[in-house]
Amino acid sequence: MIELKDVGKVYHASDGDHRALDHINLKIDDGDIFGIIGESGAGKSTLVRLLNLLERPTEGQIIIDGDDITNYEGRQLRELRANIGMIFQNFSLFQQRTVLQNVMFPLEVRREPKAQNAERAHELLRLVSLDDKASRYPSELSGGQQQRVAIARALANRPRYMLCDEATSALDSRTTVQVLDLLAKINAELGVTMVVITHSLAVCRHICNRTAVIDSGHIVEEGLTANVFANPQSKVARELLEWGFEKAPESSESISSEETDYPEEVGA
């Protein structure tokens, strides 16, 4: 379980201090696919980057599996990051590495035996239906395929949690559904708890059992996704409903075959 207690974040920017998050209280249960939805600049990426300490909170506690992680350094930090996979909007694959080498990267960082790494990477590529593309380079894949490689890489260390920051924003609606359905399968079959950051109502509705709405650094409402959007309490949620007339994606039966800000420390 992930619990945020009175978490705040102030950035010290070149033009002065900026409060990105204020008094955030959230509980993400094991097995959840937890959506965090809000407009651009609301603080979504900041919030998700606090969970694996790519950013440190200014105030408050972040409790993961009963432990306050906010002061983790060294070995504890490395273990935390191995336990939390992350995927991004722009896939963030290493362009000079093949698909297989991308998936092996987090294992190499942990200095696992090489033969075992390749075996594990092939197993993960089979899970995302891309084992036949193992020797290709990212530039030789479609966007949806690249995101599936990124998902396989994020799972390399058998994390209990996965953070998805606008993971489908660069994809068309059909490919979005394929990637969302893959995330739902990973949640159901491997028991990986997901935190899904999005500005899309359709994404929340498609896979998130719970949703929190964030506005200007504040959580303005939170609950079962169906309830939040059946009876929105906040102005932002009402606006998302009013303006978010994207068609809800239909479920896909199967996955068809169709630049880099991946922080190296995520793989560590």
Ligand X SMILES: Nc1ncnc2c1ncn2[C@@H]1O[C@H](COP(=O)(O)OP(=O)(O)OP(=O)(O)O)[C@@H](O)[C@H]1O
Where along the sequence are the contacts to Mg ion (CB under 5 A)? 45
Q: Among ligand X, Mg ion, none, what does residue 43 contact (CB within 5–8 Å per kind)? A: ligand X
CB count in 10 Å sphere of residue 211: 26
Report the site for ligand X in 106-145 (rule: CB under 6 A): none
191: DSSP letter: -
CB of 163 to ligand X, least distance (A): 12
CB nearer ligand X, residue 40 or residue 254: 40
CB nearer Mg ion, residue 45 or residue 101: 45
CB of 14 to ligand X, least distance (A): 8
Indicate which single residue of 16, 40, 139, 254 sits in contact with ligand X (rule: CB under 6 A): 40
Q: Among Mg ion, ligand X, none, what does residue 42 contact (CB within 5–8 Å per kind)? A: ligand X
56 near ligand X, judged by CB under 6 A: no
254: DSSP letter: S
36 near ligand X, judged by CB under 6 A: no
160 near ligand X, judged by CB under 6 A: no
E-only strand ranges, 103-233: 161-165, 193-198, 210-215, 218-224
Alpha-carbon distance 115 to 122, whole Å?
11
Of 41-49, 123-131, 179-187, 247-255: span binding ligand X (CB under 6 A): 41-49
Helix pair angle (114-127, 99-109), 10° resolution: 130
E-only strand ranges, the chain: 2-13, 16-28, 33-37, 59-64, 67-68, 84-88, 161-165, 193-198, 210-215, 218-224
152: DSSP letter: H
Report the site for ligand X in 172-231 (rule: CB under 6 A): 199
Tokens representing 202? 């359709």
7 near ligand X, judged by CB under 6 A: no
232 near ligand X, judged by CB under 6 A: no
| 3-state class (DSSP) for residue 79 | helix
End-to-end CA distance of the chain: 22
Q: Among Mg ion, ligand X, none, what does residue 14 contact (CB within 5–8 Å per kind)? A: none
20 near ligand X, judged by CB under 6 A: yes
235 near ligand X, judged by CB under 6 A: no
Residue 149 sits at the vertex; the CA angle it makes with 250 and 133, to the nearest 5 degrees, is 100
Binding residues for ligand X (CB under 6 A): 11, 13, 18, 20, 38, 40-46, 199
